[in-house]
Amino acid sequence: MPASAVPVSVVGLPSAKRERIVVRSSRGCPSCGEWTCADPDDCLHLLMSLPWGDCDFCAGSGWGGEDTPSIFCEWCAGSGLQEFTLGDTPPLCTRAAERLAAHIDRLRALTAVAA
């Protein structure tokens, strides 16, 4: 089990009705939506070449709503970012721009190690 996944048991329910809940402490990649990119080169290329804006569902915060089972937004995997078409990109809020830069830096480091 990855270090970022922490299993949480549901207390007070009969064992037949218990579901395994996994809480992740890291945000997903805005490009692939995964917590660990299968192809960091491809994700880096998409992040560098496509326009990104604040997620419409979480307004760029990356946090899930009170009615969702995840602490992070299920639409953007917690990145706060969403791909837009050219000419249709709204400006990024400061936090989302920082997260985009952090994702790009992390992927650059991953691709440099693999090279």
Question: pLDDT for 32-84, tens place per residue?
Answer: 888 888 899 999 999 988 888 888 888 888 888 888 777 888 888 888 888 88
Structural domain contains residue 44: yes
d(CA 74, CA 65): 9
Dihedral over Cα of 53, 58, 61, 62: its sign: negative
pTM: 0.65
Count of structural domains within the chain: 1
Average pLDDT of span 6-30: 58
In this prediction, residue 2 carries a pLDDT of 43
Query: What does the DSSP 8-state code read for residue 108?
Result: H
In a domain, 65, yes or no: yes
The reply to whether 9 falls in a domain is no
20: in domain: no
Residue-number span of the structural domain to which 37 is assigned: 27-114
User: What does the pLDDT read at residue 93?
Assistant: 78
Evaluate whether 2 touches 35 at the Cβ level (below 8 Å). Answer: yes
In-domain check, residue 12: no
Residue 56 within a domain = yes
In a domain, 72, yes or no: yes
User: How much is the pLDDT for 15?
Assistant: 54
Predicted local confidence at residue 4, as pLDDT = 46
95 assigned to some structural domain: yes
